Amino acid sequence: MRVLKLIFGEDIRAAQIPTNCSLTQLRDIVGNRFPNLKAVLIKYKDKEGDLVTITTQEELRWAEESADPQGSVRLHVTEVNPEYEPSFGEGRRTDTEVQETEKSLTNISNFSENGSIKIYEEKGVSTCVDNWILQFARLFQNYVGFSSDSCLNLHDLGMKLYSEAMEDVVTSEEAQEIFDSAEESFQEMAALALFNWGNVHMSRAKKKLFLSEDASKESILEQVKSGYEWAKGEYIKAGKRYEEALKIKPDFYEGLLALGQQQLEQAKLSWYYAIENNVDLDTWPSTEVLELFNNAEESMERGTEMWEEIEAQRLKNLSKPNRDKDILDKMGLDGFFKDISNEEAAEHASCMRSQINILWGTMLYERSIVEFKLGFPTYEECLMAAVEKFKLAGATPTDLTVMIKNHCANETAQEGLNFRIDEIVQAWNEMYDAKRWMSSVPSFRLEPLFRRRIPKLHDSLEHNDF
């Protein structure tokens, strides 16, 4: 069995396919996941980045072989006129037959008393719960950034290192080295758990307001206030989790960068809420928002410096033997150590540096808007600093020109253009994704943070949708 991701525009749904899956089975699974689509083309992305329509069994095998053996098979679904749908030699099966196929493909998982996972088949039991759990797990991993496999690997590595050391004489020098490596693995796992916990709260803060068209003005304002308090509470909880992660692992730069974004989002939420309530900016206490911006920039600066130091140390140690790798090799656990080439590591560092600069530039740009609205002359300095960060990230001169021209401080900014820095950043991130895929650069733990979309409440407050 392999995990399958079906991508239809922005809608991504998870399923499972058996070994040697047939085209008819695949079409049935797609039809079951997207029941409203009458006719579709199913495509996979080849190594040259092209979307290739699957019309034969051999092409389906190619699609499976092009996927990461440890990851999921990603297929793109496109709706077409029924006359253009490829014929696989069989008619489309009924819903009942499709459900039977799905039921035969899905095993029911359960936990044993000692925490291990048992997988068994049980006749007559619905697989709806299994499918729901799978889809939620994929959604959780895609949008929150939590990968259970990576954490299990850290846990397994820590336990194996600890057990190996206990089997040796605990007072020996070799055992102490193993204990040190085990401690680092458990420490990182604990920090990652809190980091992912914080990501959950950041995602919860994105909850959308559903306002009835016939609701009264008072009712709408009450819902907006309630939504604001909810989002603010989630941001505060996320910040606490990131801070706890840093207490466990002080050099956890991911926690600092995430904390910077959390403080930025909280500052924007407070600002948009104040604007929506038509406060008098001359008398409005802006100290809290500006303090959040200050803290966000400080967190970004510290996190970036920490990452740069770690990267510099990595480059310095390229010619030196890796202590952890040597220990694992001696113990026969070399499979836990994933070695990447110098070229891959350099490309990874370049992508990381660009993404940090984009996030930092966004922070400075948002602050320049607030400072301009508050009448602070420092807004221009902040705007130029933002432009410099975007330039370092690889933004084109055209992008930079549009950004400056449409800043709210520019008298020539077109009314109704509704320029959003988040929109251009999202476009950059999509280009980054395409480049990363083409160059086969592995993703990293901070990717969900860099790709996080604008919270719905922020969007509603800014555009006064109610």
For the chain, give every domain's residue range: 2-144, 151-463
Question: Angle of helix 421-438 relative to helix 397-405, nearest 10 degrees?
Answer: 170
- The two structure tokens encoding residue 248: 């466990």
- The two structure tokens encoding residue 349: 């560092």
Of 251-265, 340-354, 420-434, which has the strongest mean pLDDT? 251-265
Residue 98 pLDDT class (50, 70, 90 cuts): very low
pLDDT value at position 354? 86
Q: Which residue has the higher pLDDT, 62 or 327?
A: 62
Burial of 298 (0-12, 13-18, 19+ CB in 10 A): middle
Average pLDDT (46-69) is 84
What distance in Å separates the CA atoms of residue 380 and residue 339, rounded to the nearest whole number? 45
Of 132-141, 198-207, 335-344, which has the strongest mean pLDDT? 198-207
What distance in Å separates the CA atoms of residue 50 and residue 45, rounded to the nearest whole number? 5
Least confident of 99-113, 131-145, 165-179, 408-422: 99-113
Residue 40: strand pairing partners:
79
What are the start-end ranges of the H helices in 379-450?
A: 379-393, 397-405, 421-438, 447-450
pLDDT value at position 128? 37
Judge whether 109 and 85 are in contact, CB under 8 Å.
no
- Indicate the DSSP class of residue 211: -
- Does residue 417 surpass a pLDDT of 50? no
Q: How far is CA 145 from the centre of its chain?
A: 5
Least confident of 23-32, 162-171, 295-304, 379-388: 162-171
Residue 120: strand pairing partners:
108
3-state secondary structure of 45: strand
Residue located via tokens 């400056």 = 404
pLDDT value at position 319? 65
3-state secondary structure of 303: helix
Q: 157: closest CA among 392, 330, 337? A: 337
Residue 291 pLDDT class (50, 70, 90 cuts): very high
Look up the pTM and report it. Answer: 0.59
- Does residue 287 surpass a pLDDT of 70? yes
Residue 219 pLDDT class (50, 70, 90 cuts): confident
pLDDT value at position 255? 93
Average pLDDT (204-210) is 74
What distance in Å separates the CA atoms of residue 364 and residue 391, rounded to the nearest whole number? 13
Residue 445 pLDDT class (50, 70, 90 cuts): low
Q: Which amino acid is at 165?
A: A
- Considering the chain, what is the average pLDDT of its residues? 73
Least confident of 50-64, 103-117, 225-239: 103-117
CATH number of 2-144: 3.10.20.90
Other Cβ atoms less than 10 A from the Cβ of 68: the count is 10
